[in-house]
C-alpha cells in the first residue's frame, strides 16, 4: 500500500484519526492543526484503505538553535482496527525513503522496539526536553556527540499534553504502543 501526500480536503479525516488512534489525548491532533495553521514546513503522509484514511504521519523541522538539522517524526498514527498489520511500518519506511528525508537526520520520541526496526537508536546527545534522561528519544542518521537541547517548532510547546496523556504515553513506552 502506498503512502500519499495529504491535501487540505483530508485534514478533517486526519484530525478524527488522530483523536481516535490516541484515545484520551488531544495533543496530537492539536499539534498537527497548529503546525499547519502556522504555515510550518511539515511533511504529512497518509494511507487509505477502502476509501478512508487509516494511517498518518508528520515530519517537522528539528533545530540546533536557529539552524535546521533534520526532522522530527511525530505523530505517527494508525487506526486501531488496522494496527499490527504493517500499515504503520510501511508508512514510516516510505516516508523515510522520500528524497527530502532520505539522507536527513530524523529524531523520534517513541517506543525503541518499534522505531528500532527502521534503524533508530537511542541517543543521549542532543537532549530532548520532552524526555528527561532521553529514555525514549532516538535518532536515525545522527553522528554528532555535541551537547545541546534539540529544538522543536513552537507549536510542540503550545500543544502540551495533559497529565493523563503523559501517563498514557509512559504506558506506551513500556510496551503498550499503539503502533
4-174, superfamily in CATH? Gcn5-related N-acetyltransferase (GNAT) (3.40.630.30)
Cα separation, 101 vs 125, in Å, equals: 21
pLDDT at 125 over 90: yes
Cα separation, 177 vs 179, in Å, equals: 5
Cα separation, 6 vs 8, in Å, equals: 7
Cis peptide before 75 (omega within 30 of 0): yes
Q: Say what the pLDDT of residue 1 is.
A: 84
Tell me the pLDDT tens digit for each residue of 136-159.
999 999 999 999 999 999 999 887
Q: Say what the pLDDT of residue 148 is.
A: 97
In this structure, what C-alpha cell is assigned to residue 89? 511500518
Which band of pLDDT confidence, cut at 50, 70 and 90, is reported for residue 124? very high
Tell me the pLDDT tens digit for each residue of 40-61.
999 999 999 999 999 999 999 9
Contact between 104 and 61 under an 8 Å Cβ cutoff? The reply is no
pLDDT at 10 over 70: yes
Q: Say what the pLDDT of residue 16 is.
A: 96
Which band of pLDDT confidence, cut at 50, 70 and 90, is reported for residue 79? very high
Cα separation, 112 vs 120, in Å, equals: 8
Cα separation, 101 vs 61, in Å, equals: 11
Which band of pLDDT confidence, cut at 50, 70 and 90, is reported for residue 164? very low
The number of beta carbons lying within 10 Å of the beta carbon of residue 4 is: 14
Which band of pLDDT confidence, cut at 50, 70 and 90, is reported for residue 162? low
Domain ranges of the chain: 4-174
Amino acid at each position: 500500500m502506498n503512502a500519499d501526500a495529504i491535501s487540505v480536503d483530508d485534514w478533517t479525516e486526519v484530525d478524527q484519526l488522530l483523536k481516535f488512534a490516541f484515545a484520551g489525548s488531544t495533543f496530537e491532533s492539536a499539534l498537527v492543526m497548529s503546525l499547519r495553521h502556522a504555515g510550518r514546513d511539515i511533511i504529512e503522509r497518509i494511507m487509505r484503505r477502502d476509501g478512508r484514511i487509516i494511517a498518518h504521519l508528520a515530519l517537522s523541522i528539528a533545530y540546533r538553535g536557529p539552524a535546521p538539522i533534520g526532522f522530527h517524526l511525530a505523530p505517527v498514527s494508525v487506526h486501531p482496527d488496522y494496527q499490527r498489520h504493517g500499515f504503520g511500518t510501511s508508512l514510516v519506511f516510505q516516508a523515510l525513503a522520500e528524497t527530502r528525508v532520505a539522507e536527513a537526520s530524523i529524531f523520534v520520541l517513541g517506543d525503541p522496539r518499534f522505531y528500532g526496526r527502521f534503524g533508530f537508536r537511542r541517543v543521549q546527545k542532543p537532549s530532548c526536553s520532552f524526555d528527561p534522561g532521553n529514555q525514549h528519544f532516538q535518532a536515525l542518521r545522527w553522528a554528532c556527540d555535541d551537547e545541546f537541547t534539540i529544538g522543536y517548532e513552537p507549536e510542540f510547546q503550545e500543544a502540551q499534553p495533559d497529565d493523563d496523556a503523559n501517563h498514557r504515553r509512559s504506558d506506551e513506552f513500556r510496551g503498550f504502543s499503539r503502533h
